[in-house]
Amino acid sequence: MLGSDWEKKAADNREKIRKEKSFKKQHLTFTSNGLYTDFNTFLFMLQYEYGIIIDDSIIEDTGEVFIYHIKCSYNKALKLKVYKDSNNIVYMLEILGV
């Protein structure tokens, strides 16, 4: 019960911040031939270094490629710069426009 109370309070705070700062919903997507091992670190950086609210993140395995979806909220337009190696596997992501 304590965990759900904390989660509800956190969700309420995110909604309050989103309304106060006119955050815009955004959807960033990229593909990779292999798993991007630093994906969780990248999401952490977005939240805690840039103040971007992560609404959802999904990794979709099509059998041929991995499709990454980041649904987020921020008050400026964001673009994702994707760096891939010769095997078309993502090794680094960079947010532009913060």
Amino acid at 16: K
- Relative to beta strand 66-74, strand 90-96 is unpaired
- Model pLDDT for residues 5-30, shown as the tens digit of each residue: 878 877 777 777 666 667 789 999 99
Q: What is the pLDDT of residue 3?
A: 57
Determine if the pTM surpasses 0.85: no
- Model pLDDT for residues 42-92, shown as the tens digit of each residue: 999 999 888 899 999 999 999 999 999 999 998 888 999 999 999 999 999
* Domain extents in the chain: 22-97
Do 93 and 83 form a contact (C-beta atoms < 8 A)? yes
Other Cβ atoms within 10 Å of 73 Cβ, number:
19
